[in-house]
Amino acid sequence: MHEQKEHLFLIFENLIRIKSECSCGIFSECTLSDITLKQIHYLKTIDQNKEVTFSRLAEITRNSKPTITEMINKLVRMECVYREPCQHDGRIAYIRLTGRGEMIARAEQKALEQVIERLMDSLDDQEINLLIEILKKVR
């Protein structure tokens, strides 16, 4: 049992390493080496909430509007987001992702897709189906 656990540990460690390599490759494409996890979290939140305003982002993240403004200003300087004024109310601005912001927000998903592609390239159809059935049991 201990040997099996150790073997599984090594296998999953390798999968996580591959995913990390894929993520690093995506981030290096964005030419942003100093982005923080918090900034990535904000980009993901903006990506998931398409019509997000400063007030709405403050509500979602449970932060103050000044905190949101400071973070968005940083992300604007990093060319990850931009402000889009509301056509109906000049007091409201939507926070939109740039292409770079989208790439960063979706990097984890893209890296996971790359890991899955590598798995599929390494296995035949029967092995893929077996892997799917086994992993469906994990809760």
User: What residue spans define the domains of the chain?
Assistant: 1-30+107-139, 35-105
* H or E stretch at 85: strand 81-85
- Report residue 35 as tokens: 């982005």
Which pLDDT score, from 0 to 100, does residue 138 have?
86
Asked if residues 78 and 33 have their Cβ atoms less than 8 Å apart, the reply is no
CATH of domain 35-105: 1.10.10.10
CA–CA separation, 42 and 57 (whole Å): 8
pTM for the structure as a whole: 0.74
Which pLDDT score, from 0 to 100, does residue 33 have?
64
Which pLDDT score, from 0 to 100, does residue 60 have?
94
Asked if residues 33 and 24 have their Cβ atoms less than 8 Å apart, the reply is no
* H or E stretch at 94: strand 93-97
Q: How many CB atoms are closer than 10 A to CB 107?
A: 22
Mean pLDDT by 10 residues, the chain (139 residues): 86 86 74 80 93 93 93 94 91 93 90 89 93 89
CA–CA separation, 91 and 99 (whole Å): 25
Q: How many CA atoms lie within 13 A of 90 on its CB side?
A: 0
Which pLDDT score, from 0 to 100, does residue 28 have?
72
